[in-house]
Amino acid sequence: MAFYQKIPCVPRVSVREKHSEAFCRSISTKARMGWFWRAVAEWGIAGVLMSACVPAAATLSPSGSASPVPSPTLFSTATARPSPTAVPPATPTAAPTEGIRQVSPTPSSPPEIFPLDVPLPPQANRVIAPNYRFAASMNGAREIHHGVEFENPIGTPVLAAAGGTVVFAGEDSGGELAPWPNFYGQAVVIEHHPAGWEQPLFTLYAHLSEVRVVEGETVQAGEVVGAVGMSGSADGPHLHFEVRAGENAYANSRNPELWLTPQEGCGSLAGRLAAPSGQGIPALAVTLLPLDSESPPIYLQTYEAGEALSTESLRENLAIWNLPAGRYQVEFVAGGLHRLEVAIRPGERTFFSWPQETSP
């Protein structure tokens, strides 16, 4: 089955010539009216290619800035639950840029930047579902997503993403893990203490068909902790994978794509796109175009939850893991069409921000 194909870093095929300034403007405008998810469906292959491989850090010029990767030890402690509906996009009045702004790579990311492994075996589908990414709501059709999804058949082994202690194992019948009872169904939560981190990190594995560990048990990275299912609120078999920073609380969920270890030859990208007021722009359509290969564009969106689920250190509102190394053009419309160029390096995270701001 396709679910068990291991997808490597692969070369890409050119469609950049189709993406003129007018076309890019059309993409971003239509995305605000719900076209974004249909575009993802149409370009599903782009999501697959993208997730095959993603991190590096950087420094932007006048229209955008990138900075060295900050320490991953500081987290937001906000407790407010994000709105279950899509946040309307902001419309900042920044003038459009001219040409492409360059982003220079920064020093290599330290090992503790990526403390987590993919929680599935190599023969399973390890591609994150592109149509329901972190902090998205499928255009208001679902709750703001607090994790990512790996679609796999029922029974596929689920592995511990890192060594740690099991702090929850069983049925989420009392609403211990979310504001609603049985939201996650059968689930496992593991507490980790990565080297160099001041606060713990928790990983949550939800909608399982079976749980194979007990509370208090110590597990190693790669150890089987359960099996893929569709328990709780799931509407199809998949693993819901969630990362919680500092505390095992629903409001402490953060983007798993920030911390998953990229495959060989791949890195990750994180960014912050803000309005002139300094507030992050929610639900902003972003197109990522490979410049060193001829492959389809990748369609992304800034967090619909605003900054409620951003890390305190990065204040990011966009992140993507497992991108093949190379140069990419980031395009979005915010008071005009803007283009930034970023570089992805193997085993590193690239961070960029727009407009120019002080490093986080």
Q: pLDDT by residue (tens digit) across 110-136?
A: 546 899 999 999 999 999 999 999 999
Whether 280 and 333 map to the same domain: the answer is: yes
When pLDDT is cut at 50, 70 and 90, the band that residue 101 belongs to is: low
- Band (pLDDT 50/70/90 cuts) for residue 138 is confident
User: Is pLDDT of 99 > 90?
Assistant: no
User: Is the pLDDT reported for residue 277 higher than 70?
Assistant: yes
Mean pLDDT rounded to a whole number for the chain: 78
pTM of the model: 0.73
Q: How many domains does the chain have?
A: 2
Any residues with CB less than 8 A from the CB of 50 and at least 6 apart, and which? 130, 288, 298, 320, 322, 323
Cα(165)–Cα(150) distance, integer angstroms = 23
Q: Is 135 left (phi over 0), alpha (psi -120 to 50) or beta?
A: left
- Point out the domain boundary residue: 233, 258, 283: 258
At residue 289, does pLDDT exceed 70? Answer: yes
**Average of per-residue pLDDT across 215-237:** 98
Residue 66's pLDDT is: 43
Tell whether 203 and 331 lie within a shared domain.
Answer: no
pLDDT score recorded for residue 356: 56
Strand-pair category, 266-273 with 326-333: unpaired
**What distance in Å separates the CA atoms of residue 143 and residue 139, rounded to the nearest whole number?**
10
pLDDT tens digits, 254-274: 999 999 999 999 999 999 999
Domain endpoint, select from 197, 225, 258: 258
Q: Is 354 helix (H, G, I), strand (E, B) or coil?
A: strand
The residue-averaged pLDDT of 327-338 equals 97
Average pLDDT estimate for 210-221: 99
Report if residue 3 sits inside a domain.
no
Which amino acid, residue 33?
M
The residue-averaged pLDDT of 295-319 equals: 94
Domain extent, residue 29, equals: 13-110+264-354
H-helix or E-strand spanning residue 50:
helix 44-51
The answer on pLDDT for 5 being more than 50 is no
Domain finish residue from 208, 239, 258 = 258
Tokens, residue 342: 């970023």
* Percentage above 90 pLDDT, the chain: 63
Residue 162: pLDDT band with limits 50, 70, 90: very high
Assess whether pLDDT exceeds 70 at residue 2: no
- 359, part of any domain: no
275 and 243 in a common domain: no
The CATH number given to whatever domain includes residue 332 is: 2.60.40.1120
Distance, CA of 105 to CA of 252 (rounded, Å): 30
Q: Are residues 252 and 281 in the same domain?
A: no
Strand ranges (DSSP E) for 237-325? Answer: 238-245, 253-254, 266-273, 285-290, 298-301, 318-324
| CA 321 – CA 256 distance, rounded (Å) | 9
Q: Do residues 120 and 84 both lie within one domain? A: no
Instruction: Tell me the pLDDT tens digit for each residue of 50-74.
Output: 444 633 333 333 344 443 333 333 2
Task: Please report the pLDDT score of residue 102 as a whole number.
Answer: 52
H-helix or E-strand spanning residue 241 = strand 238-245
Q: Is the pLDDT of residue 9 over 50?
A: no
Query: Rounded CA gap, 9 and 29, in Å?
Result: 31
pLDDT at position 144 over 90: yes
Contact 37, 139 (CB under 8 A): yes
H/E element, 25 = helix 21-30
Q: What is the CATH number of the domain that holds 251?
A: 2.70.70.10
Q: Which of 204, 250, 252, 203 is nearest to 75 (CA)?
A: 252
